[in-house]
A and B are shown apart, each in its own frame.
Chain A
Amino acid sequence: MFEMFHLPFMVQAFAAAVITGILLSYLGVHVVGRGIVFVDLALGQISSLGVAFATFIGTGLTSIPLIFTLSGALLMSFINIRDKRLKQEAIIGILYAFASALTVLLISKTAHGDSDIQEVLFGNILSVSWQQITSIGIVFGAILLVQLIFFRKFASLTQSFENGVNHMIGIFNIWNFLFYISIGLAIVFAVKINGVIPVFSYLIIPAVSAIMLSKNKTVVLIIAIIISILAGFFGLNFSFHYDFPAGSSIVVVLGGIFILASVYRIISGTVNKEQTNHNIH
């Protein structure tokens, strides 16, 4: 089970998986609580749009995607809907579709722009360098630190979304803005290493599975982080032993964990029901 750690590139892949997993699964609990699971795909797509734009004008391949993503995050933090028939998710979905289409248009005027986009969409965790790991370690560590110091601020904000009283927070709320900047930064860096689909999975699956397993908020956070680390370990093991692409292996393991959590939820649900029935009789 630990043979893969004899190979330096697998150790690097695991280090990168753990760092991204911890931050994303933590942020994921907020994302799921706010009901904005599309945020990752939308910001990922805006980042691709940045790559397409940079390729088109022929410069700024690293800075422009970052600027685009952070502007997108800023824009999203302003979304404040009072009309109950509309959900924030719908607006984010529109941003996703709009950015995708713009990307396609830009690529169509840029020869082989698709190869750069491919690189952004399908990051390769197997060839991540220690230098990259250090840089995401610093960025993600800083984000996590801010999140932990102001834990209560962010938690109560998410709470307001869960309770549907989010329109009370006003047009500009510094914590809401900081939250979106955290998400934006995390996604730009994580996608470069892991690819869009693994990042989406790391963000959503541990959070959803953990919510199914516990009602306590702190426990949910801890379970989500544990799930992300387990998925990184078993996913890379699976990839290593059966020779599959690493990113997709991690996603498949996350999916498996989700199914297990669902089964547990269903079984414990029926047990609880039976007990209540029993008590009534």
Chain B
Amino acid sequence: MERIISIFTSLLIILSANAGSIKVVTTTMDMKSITEMIGGNKVSVQSIATGYQNPHFVDPKPSYIISLSNADLFVTVGLDLETGWSPQLLSSSRNSKIQKGSTGYVDASNGVGLLQVPSSVNRGEGDIHIYGNPHYWLDPLNGKVIARNITDGLERVDPSGKAFYEANLNAFFIKIDLKMKDWGAKMAPFKGTKIIAYHNEWVYFERRFGLEIIDFMEPKPGIPPSPSQLVKVIKEVAADKIKVIISSPYFTTSSSDVVAKQTGVKELTLATSVGAFNSIKNYFDLFDYDIDQLIAALK
């Protein structure tokens, strides 16, 4: 009997080892999606923020700390996107494997060509992101850098799986390049199109797909639209024949509604993360969705 049990438990251990034995916690859904593509069935991944939540503000729950304390790998978007909550959760987890600088800590922003890095740190001037704009995953080519960083992390905590991760990374690179051709072709007719955005999170997307964001609904990042800003935007919409104002699921549309009513401009809520809408299941879906929506609105 004891023998049967021991065979059974060792079988269970083997089985569970196959079904994602490496526990990964990511801060956002985009990091989760890419980790799953690289780690395949060797990993089980959990994201702390949901896709429709503003990643700057996350209300901590006990389960976040519990999953962090059991994690083998932690993936963060980095810069100062999650400063309000992730360092505190990490230290509460007391998991030495995933603290900053440990082998299980992955800062996905390593090596990303950052935009809007302020020359002097003066918060009053709107230079809030002291390391540069942290919404870099919205450029699909930065997805490659993220994937490389995650692959390195997985190889550090599971050296035996190196070949497997490298193969998946290659497949990811190939798919990104293929999809990028498709996305680029779709967006090509709209190169140089002027649009307005609610918050300054689209700079990487804008750069990659040749759009031109001429102004933001927010007078400064994080500050709700003021009356004078609304007047300014309404004038700009008329002067530059702006067709669309883009926003994210976690911002209120009330102020863009005002502009839309006055000018007839279209309001578009784009996804900033995987899971923002039900149809966006992975990192590729994210760009498929946003680009299809944009094209439909700009036509």
Contact = CB atoms under 8 A, between A and B. Distances in A.
B128 A111 contact: yes
B56 A244 contact: no
A119 B128 contact: no
Q: In this complex, which of A8, A55, A108, A111 has the most chain B Cβ atoms within 10 angstroms of its Cβ? A: A111
A169 B61 CA distance: 47
A8 B226 CA distance: 45
A118 B61 contact: no
Contacts of B152: none
Nearest to B127: A111
B189 interface: no
B37 to A, nearest CB: 27
Contacts of A243: 61-63
Contacts of B88: 124, 127
B223 A107 contact: yes
Interface residues of B, number: 30
Interface in B203-253: 220-223, 226
A245 B93 CA distance: 16
B124 A111 contact: yes
Given A112-B222, A127-B92, A7 B123 contact: no
Q: In this complex, which of A7, A55, A239, A244 has the most chain B Cβ atoms within 10 angstroms of its Cβ? A: A7
Interface in A103-122: 107-115, 118-119, 122
Interface string B135-167: 000000000000000000000000000000000
Contact of A58 (B89, B94, B123): B123
Interface residues of A, number: 31
Interface string B44-84: 00000000000011011111011001000000000000001
Interface in A240-263: 240, 243-246
Contacts, number: 82
A126 interface: yes
A122 B62 contact: no
A210 to B, nearest CB: 29
Given A56-B124, A118-B84, A126 B91 contact: no
A126 B56 CA distance: 18
A108 B221 CA distance: 10
B193 to A, nearest CB: 27
Contacts of B2: none
A129 interface: yes
B65 A9 contact: yes
B222 A113 contact: yes
A229 to B, nearest CB: 19
A122 B59 contact: yes
A33 B94 CA distance: 43
B111 interface: no
A111 B126 contact: yes
Contacts of A112: 123, 128, 220-223
Contacts of B94: 8-9
B92 A126 contact: yes
Contacts of A246: 60-62
A10 interface: yes
Nearest to B129: A112
27 contacts: A7-B62, A7-B66, A9-B92, A56-B124, A58-B122, A108-B223, A111-B124, A111-B127, A111-B221, A112-B128, A112-B221, A112-B222, A113-B123, A115-B57, A115-B128, A126-B60, A126-B65, A126-B89, A127-B60, A127-B91, A129-B91, A239-B61, A243-B61, A243-B62, A244-B61, A246-B60, A246-B61
**Complex A-B, nearest 3 residue pairs according to Cβ-Cβ distance, in ascending order:** A127-B88, A112-B128, A112-B222
